[in-house]
Amino acid sequence: MSYGTAGPLRSVTLDDVRGAQKMLSGVARATAMEGSRHLSQLVGAPVHLKCENLQRTGSFKLRGAYVRIAGLLPEERAAGVVAASAGNHAQGVALASSLLGVHATVFMPQGAPLPKVSATREYGAEVRLHGQVVDETLAAAEEYAAETGAVFIHPFDHPDIIAGQGTVGLEILEQCPEVRTVVVGVGGGGLAAGIAVAVKALRPDVRIVGVQAEGAACYPPSLAAGRPVSLDSPATVADGIKVGRPGEVPFGIVGELVDEVRTVSEDQLSAALLLCLERAKLVVEPAGAAPVAALLAAPDGFEGPVVAVLSGGNVDPLLMQRVLRHGMSAQGRYLAVRLRLTDRPGALATLLGALSVVDANVLDVSHVRTDPRLGLTEAEVELHLETKGPAHCAEVGQALRDAGYTVID
């Protein structure tokens, strides 16, 4: 469906995007496009992955940040720039500023992953940790800009940012001229808007599908209302698209040029990240996996050839571990089960023997013998098992019950 024109006419043109592409020559990589046999079989048409996770700084954000900062007046550059981000935008601004000889101050939440904080510093920015959530960090950055005169570099709500991100769309058309559908993750909307400007100007027949996490889907209600609507408390593991309100500039473009915005669940995001790692051999963050999640959720709903934009690969190792485990659980390949047994010598060995019969691989065992909830002769065991799918999970549970164990939900 098309949502029609929302807000003012778009302020970014194809010429703007082409100008940004010239400006980014020798700065941003023309990232690879990889075919996916597995996704192609699911969709029933060729599916290609646009690998912005392999971009410098690990995401598409460098494109827009560089174009925005390069366009500043000399006196603005002299005042420096400031940004607020939990990761990808921070690194893009840091590297762009370093390349252009501009001092950058980046505010990041106090709980930002250490690898992202370290990378931002290594790219040359002064990092200040402030606030527990991005909204608090954003307020601190805007206050700093007001006090010092530094130029605030918004992550998505500026025409130059959108023009820079739109260069991804030009590359898609160059690398896959036969494309029929482009699927792209949506947070504030800068990337989707930029791609839509470039692609629709040259190939109006190409369908643009945006994807948001269910817990941070600010665009569907905003498009329905005809104006940006704020979410009270966006929540998703995909922090790269965890935005509570669309940007004013990208909102008008998305409303006019993006054909549809879909949502995906946390389970689908986790499964998509796992698929990218296992099948495509690509490290992708949850936000970057959103387009793949949409393909997995409704493989019959896309006309091919399809290009799915993997927007970034900056994922904290601890988060990666949790998300992968969640993805395996969603696919029935990981099972956590608690049960009660009689506390006597050999009881645990007998339990493990019962699991070996049904070919369940034990990854971890937690054995509790002293707890107020337990009877005098009881013990509680929590098992983490590697399984082979939903049917195997059901078989394991039934085998435990048949052996006389009390399984605790």
Taking the CA atoms of the chain, what radius of gyration do you get in angstroms?
24
**Contact yes or no for 196/254 (Cβ under 8 A):** yes
CA neighbor of 208 nearest in space, from 226, 187, 192:
192
Q: Is 12 helix (H, G, I), strand (E, B) or coil?
A: coil
Residues 79, 148: Cα–Cα separation, whole Å: 8
| Residues written for the chain | 409
Residues 330, 165: Cα–Cα separation, whole Å: 33
Please report which helix (H) or strand (E) contains residue 105, including its range.
strand 104-108
Residue of 59, 85, 222, 311 marked active site:
311
Q: Is 307 helix (H, G, I), strand (E, B) or coil?
A: strand
| Distance between first and last Cα of the chain | 42
Residues 269, 239: Cα–Cα separation, whole Å: 12
Half-sphere exposure of 249 (CA within 13 A, CB side): 18
Residue of 61, 116, 200, 242 marked active site:
61
β-bridge mates for residue 147, sequence order:
none
CA neighbor of 202 nearest in space, from 162, 158, 172:
172
50 counts as catalytic: no
233 counts as catalytic: no
Q: DSSP string of 331-392? A: TTSEEEEEEEEE-STTHHHHHHHHHHHTTPEEEEEEEE---TTS-TTEEEEEEEEE-SSHHH
Peptide bond into 372 cis (omega under 30): no
Which residues are known catalytic residues? 61, 311
